Every structure is written in structure tokens, then in C-alpha cells.
Structure 1
Amino acid sequence: MLLRGRVEPPALAWSLRLGMVVVTVSTVAVYLMVQSTPAQETAADPRPDSPYLGGMPYIGAHTVGPPDGGPGMVVTNFSTVGGDWRVAHFVGVHSLQALILLGLLLTLGPRILGPRHRTALVWIAAAFCLGLTGILTWQAHRGQPFTSPDAATGLALTALAVATTVSTAAVFLLRAGVFCVPPARIPRALGATVPDTDHGAAGLPCPRLREPGHWCGGAGRVGVTRQSPVRRAVPGDPGSPS
């Protein structure tokens, strides 16, 4: 119902939907946590009558590399000497709360942005959370402590931050009317098809590209222009100046 039902306002609806997607993806770390480690398999009791499943007293670990119970961070106890699956799971689960809070702030805050701009910002934030969860899972898989990222992890985090910043800036430039987006490039979730009254409410034509169907900003709103094509007068046509 959450994914297919119509929920208003759109920014809050998409914050809920995308938050659930990020949470679902973060459960990959939980699956990896409950897998047996090489050390556990080596120490397994090979006897058929072993009282333990697979001959192992316990299966799984949240630390990659060193055994569980080593040095950890304050409060969270995330490992500082090896990879830790809990970091990626923590970020993924709490992304749901962060996205919902963002959706509420965009919906209830000052109406600086139009509805499609607010929805676009939610999508960008969700992509950032999903990318960060993936990078942290990759970091833990390599047995690398969260507090000591290597060059590859740092480069991935930098690329994610730059992409998020550029995308966010593009939304605000779009709102300011610096450029327009053709309708073919507007995701359906952001309102590629909207009623004709939307642009009439904005009250402004496309500021840069005078072509039908462009998504543009103005007066805090956006709209899709549906201007009638202008037909040039051709000599000899009825009504054309001679």
C-alpha cells in the first residue's frame, strides 16, 4: 500500500518509500553477520553426534578479521581493529528516520521550493543514504575499521559527497530558473505528467527555453509549459501579410 497507494504530500510519501528501500538493502549486513567465519569452521567438532549445529557452538560474528569482543568505539562499540557489519546496518536502518525527518521539514517548512523540487531533494538524500550504506558494507567486507578508512574508501566517500552536492545544487538552480529540463528527462515520480493548471498556477513561461513541456522554476513553483506552437506566416497563406 505504501509503494502503490497515493500519499500526500509527495515529498513525505517518497521519504517513506525510499526509506523502506534503504532499510531493506541494509539487511544484507544482517545476513552476513550470521554466516560462519573461517575460524569457526576450522574449530568445528567433526563428530556426527556433536550437540551443536554443524559442530560449531556458535555461528556468525559482527567483526570481520579479529574475533568479536575486541576494542571498540565509545557508546556504539563498533570495532576499531577490524571491519564491522553493524556500521552499515546502523546507517541503513536510521536512514529511514532521517529521510522521514527531511520529508517533514521540506513539507512543513517555508515554501521556498516547489513540490517537485522537494521530491527531488528526497530522492537525492535517499541515493546518498543508499550509497553510504553500500560503501560501509564494502569497507567492512575488507576487514577495515570504520575509524581508519583507506584511500579507496576515502575516494568512494568523496565521490558520493560530490555527486550529492552537485545534484542538490542543480535542484536549487532549477528552482531559480537558471536552466530547464525537457519532459523526457523528468522522472515520472517527480511529475513528468501534470495537469495543465500547474503551469497556470506558476504564472510564468519557461524562462530560458520557449519550448512546450519544459520543467522550469519561478516564484517558488514549477510547472510544465504547454505553449501552443507558433506558426510562422508564409507568403501566400490566407491571413498572411502580403
Structure 2
Amino acid sequence: MRDRRFTAISGDDAWESTKHNRELAIIWPLLGRHIAFHRRLVDLTASVKAALLLSQSIYWTRHGRDIARTSGWFFKTTEQWEMETGLSAKEQVTARQVLRELAILNEQRVGLPAKLHFRLCVDQLGALLSERIGKGASRLDWADGTVVAELLGPSLAYHRTLARIGGGVHAGLLLSRALHLTRLQSKGQVEVWVPSSAAQWTEQIGLTRREQETARRELARAGVWEESLDGIPPRLVTRIRL
């Protein structure tokens, strides 16, 4: 039984493992660098896009050049944010507002001409995250990778390049995750068709049901996303058209 609502391309249900490996070997280098997207930050910000901007801000706060000399301040243009995250200028403004309201992002304009600089309020961020995971809100050492990993939780690889295919960050994040699961499949760890219920996607990447439906529709329209109903009772499964 197949649900054709989001099916863009029909084809045989079985893919050869060698074909998967060959196609993935071609595709993977083309994806470029990825962002470590922290799912836990979606719960903190109630926004996937704010969580994405925050994830990248954490990266620059921990690894940016001269970050210690500048007391945590780093410079990014709107164009640079878009290149790194896929967020449009309007989406950046909204995401930054969310982070400012949580008191975890400071902004200031410096120099002539004035350039917008950013700084994470790491103590506030640490306190909010510690509260969410039931950990004591003591001062955290953000240079300690083990402590930071515990605080942020597991990360997902988000490929900004994939946002272009579905026309936005939500589709890019969904496709990034599905492609990761497809790569695992090529190693024999999961089925060819990836379980794809709305509840599972929300748990894994934080997208709401409506955000998922829009992203799936756009990816199907682009010809890279196929869905089917499988089993009794039927469950929704997905595969990526490589």
C-alpha cells in the first residue's frame, strides 16, 4: 500500500547496496562542511531556526579566531550567516530576537562604518541548559569538551547545501537527517526505507508536524523524497532518491 501524496518519482523498492555506496561516495564530498546542530536547543528556544543560529554561535564562541582576545565577541555579516546556515536575512532577524529575549545573545555595532558583532552570554546559556537537564547551575568551563557535550546533548550534521534543494532550512535539516540514515543503511545498519512518522522527526530534529509537511512536499517536488506506507498496521517510511 503506497501513499502518493508526497511521492515524486516511482521506482523499484529494492536498491543494491553497491549502488548506494557508489552514489553516496559521489554525493558526500559535494555536501561540503556541516554545522553541528544541537536538537536540545530547539526545546530551549522553541524554534529550529533560532536553535540553528545558536548552534553556529556556540561553534564560533568555542573555536573562533581571537575569541579570547575579544572577550567572546565575533563579527558576522548577514551574508556570512546565510552562507553558513542557510537562514535568510529575515529569518536571522527573527532568530536573533528569540535569542535576545532569552538573554543569551548580545549584539553591538563597532567601528566606522559600524559592523554588527555578537557575543553569547555563556553563563546564562549554561544556566538555562543546566536547568533543563536537571544539573546544578554552577559556572561552566566552555573549553571542557566533555562538559559541553553533556550540556548540549547529541548533535546532528546539518548540511547547508541541502537547504537549497528544498528551498529552506527546514527542508535542509530534514534531508540532512534522512541522508545520514540512508548512509547508515548502506552499511547494513538500518532498513532501505527509513521510518518516517511525524513523531520520530519531531523527536530527532525538532520540526513541528506542519513544518515537516511543508519540507516533505518541497523535497518531493524537487524529486529527492519518496514516501510509502509499509506493513500492518501501515507505517510511513521514506527513502532518498540519490
| Same-fold call, TM cutoff 0.5 | no
Q: TM-score, normalising length from structure 1? A: 0.28
Structure with a larger share of its residues in strand: 2
